[in-house]
Structure 1
Amino acid sequence: MFLHPNGLNTQSMRASKEVAVEESIRLRRSIISVPANREKMVVKAFSLPVDVIMLDLEDSVPFQEKDEARKRVVAAFREQDWKGKVRSYRINGMDTPFAYRDIIDVVEEAGDFIDVIVVPKVNDASEIKAIDYLLTQIEMRMGRTRRIGLEASIETAEGMLRAGEIAFSSTRLETLVFGVADYSASLTMMSKGISGHGDKEEFYPGHRYHFPLSMMAMAAKAAGLAAIDAPYGDYRDPEGLRRSCILSAALGYDGKWVIHPDQVEIINQVYTPSQEDVERSRRICEAHEEAKRAGCGSLAIDGKMVDAASIRVAKGISVQWERIKSRSEGS
């Protein structure tokens, strides 16, 4: 048995993650962030074909509107028809005076309607552990058995350095999210784009974010988590957006944040498994089940050996495709 440096049994954590994956895979191809204090934007988000709506209490909400924004988040969770979308909201950072109220005030009033909480600028595993403990206390006090998941945004050099520890910090954790703008700022990287969100990168001879994207994806997948890419800043550049999506998808990313409704279609397309991938996955899953029934320890398809990792990938694609079909039929 191997113990991770933070004291957690990684074998048991991996087993629990695999059970969770088989039971339910949340679709996270497209995630739109909506300022919780902007009612029109919140209402519009529910009409978009995104997989996740994230009500934001952090950067997009002025200090003087934080309290009112929490009330609006509670109302949205309790009153809106989410139509099968993942129900999410982002708290303020754990180094601010707002985070604890963002958790207590919202979760006590609307915890039964929340799927995940997004934690920004995570620099240390202790931040996720602290939120886990607080949520557990609230759930015990309120008599709730449904656990709220967590997503950790990796947005600094310090956070990226500890991405592995953060990924294994809590069984509530479902996702690591790459925050490109703040990450670039923390490294004092040169920026040519106005938004700082991955656009206008032609001045660099290569893929400037390949290393951090790969590093974070490795940490996420090692812990059985999803990996989500940062938004693309120029919403008037569809081809740039498509290239950005393809690059992160090729590195193992499951989805991308959206900053404008016009980006949704491209993002959903790129992060949806191709029909070829789906058919191949079905064949692998069916052959695996037949091999198990026959008591065979190995599996070959078309003269090629299929290992355990390929079977896990095939199962994940098959389940994801069923979720996508269900979403399409229900919309």
Structure 2
Amino acid sequence: MERPIRLRRSLLSVPANREKMVQKALGLPADVVMLDLEDSVPVEEKDSARGAVVEALRSGDWHGKVRAYRMNDMGTPFAYRDVIDVVEAVGDRVDVIVVPKVNDPAEIRALDYLLTQIEQRMGLKNRIGLEASIETAQGMARACEIAASSERLEALVFGVADYGASVGMPSRGVSGHGDAEVDYPGHRWHYPLSHMVMAAKAAGLAALDAPYGDFRDEEGLRRSCALSRALGYDGKWAIHPAQLEAINAVFTPEEEDVKRALRIVEAYEEARSRGAGSVAVDGKMVDAASVRLAQVTVASWRLIEQKRKVTPVSE
């Protein structure tokens, strides 16, 4: 079964236990709305928050958005209930489960087995996807293994704050990018960003960058988006609705990129119909990786166009 291509320019995280925030988020221009059961939910509200996730997935008007929730990490006593209680209640009304603080590929494989059992028991036809958050030195060191651990995995996500803490980087208390203006001669997140996107793309996955901490600093946000976009990232988390417009704009393919991608896809399909083993576009040979990238660009552009048709008037 091929991995679905989902539009992931922007992901907005919302505490699952805050009903008004959840309802507002469903009417915002985020590509992905993620109902959070992890960091933003107090321990004493974990059980009731699962019920809120079920209600939102069952009855919410998602306007074509990717339907996601973040479970608690696999080292907690909440994780198995986050999967069983939610998925058995909503079936395939959830698209993706985000797995935080992944340190070992075995965590993803275990979730794959569990979801497979639930899907078989319930007769679900659509496979539920997984996203793995890389938030520690251990997880970053094993990013390639994690990326290749399951066909159910669709994306890797960079967790900048926890990663910085795990390697002992000094922090000024900003949760996300924007806390990098310290005594360092370059961009101190360059290596983990580059390493993680390489691991993701080598396994055919999407790559999502961490949020920018200061939602009032639009210029800084756009710089952060442009940097991760230049490295090959597909999108970025948002911590505030005010960030969504800028994030979507930076991660929307340029018109010329779309036109070239269309030419590559058309040439590839035409070559396949002739049984040819090579593809040339604009007088240059195109390799398999470029064809795959072009296919993703075209699919993303079509999803953007489709989303524009179903976007609520209030946006």
Question: After TM superposition, is the score higher than 0.5?
Answer: yes
- Which of the residues 191, 194, 210 maps onto 2:190? 210
Aligned AA for 1:236? R
What is the aligned partner in structure 2 of residue 190 from structure 1?
A: 170
- Which of the residues 212, 220, 231 maps onto 1:240? 220
- Which of the residues 40, 44, 66 maps onto 1:86? 66
Contact 2:91–2:122 (CA under 8 A) maintained in structure 1: no
Contact 2:67–2:96 (CA under 8 A) maintained in structure 1: yes
Contact 1:78–1:110 (CA under 8 A) maintained in structure 2: yes
- Which of the residues 235, 239, 252 maps onto 1:255? 235
Q: Distance in 2 between matches of 1:271 and 1:312?
A: 18
Structure 2: 5+ residue stretches without partners: none
1:143 to partner: Cα distance: 2.5
* Number of residue pairs aligned between Structure 1 and Structure 2: 310
Give the CA RMSD over aligned residues. 1.4
- Which of the residues 18, 22, 27 maps onto 1:42? 22
Q: Which stretch shows the higher mean deviation, 125-134 or 30-39?
A: 125-134
What is the aligned partner in structure 2 of residue 56 from structure 1?
A: 36
1:131 to partner: Cα distance: 1.1
Q: Distance in 1 between matches of 2:301 and 2:167?
A: 38
TM-score (norm 1): 0.90
Aligned AA for 1:198? H
When residues 65 and 278 of structure 1 are mapped into structure 2, their CA distance, relative to the original with a 3 A threshold, is same
Q: Distance in 2 between matches of 1:251 and 1:116?
A: 24
Q: Distance in 1 between matches of 2:103 and 2:156?
A: 12
What is the aligned partner in structure 2 of residue 320 from structure 1?
A: 300
Aligned AA for 1:179? G
What is the aligned partner in structure 1 of residue 161 from structure 2?
A: 181
- Which of the residues 82, 85, 88 maps onto 1:108? 88
- Give secondary structure in 1 for the equivalent of 2:133: strand
Contact 2:32–2:65 (CA under 8 A) maintained in structure 1: yes
What is the aligned partner in structure 1 of residue 286 from structure 2?
A: 306
Q: Distance in 2 between matches of 1:305 and 1:125?
A: 36
- Which of the residues 126, 137, 145 maps onto 1:165? 145
1:257 to partner: Cα distance: 0.4
Q: For 1:174-198, what per-residue CA distance to the aligned partner results, in whole angstroms no more than 9, with x for missing partners? A: 1110000000000110123x32311
Q: For 1:189-213, what per-residue CA distance to the aligned partner results, in whole angstroms no more than 9, with x for missing partners? A: 0123x32311132323211111111
Q: For 1:241-283, what per-residue CA distance to the aligned partner results, in whole angstroms no more than 9, with x for missing partners? A: 1111111111111100010011001100111100010111112
Contact 2:27–2:63 (CA under 8 A) maintained in structure 1: no
When residues 107 and 302 of structure 1 are mapped into structure 2, their CA distance, relative to the original with a 3 A threshold, is closer
% of aligned pairs identical? 67
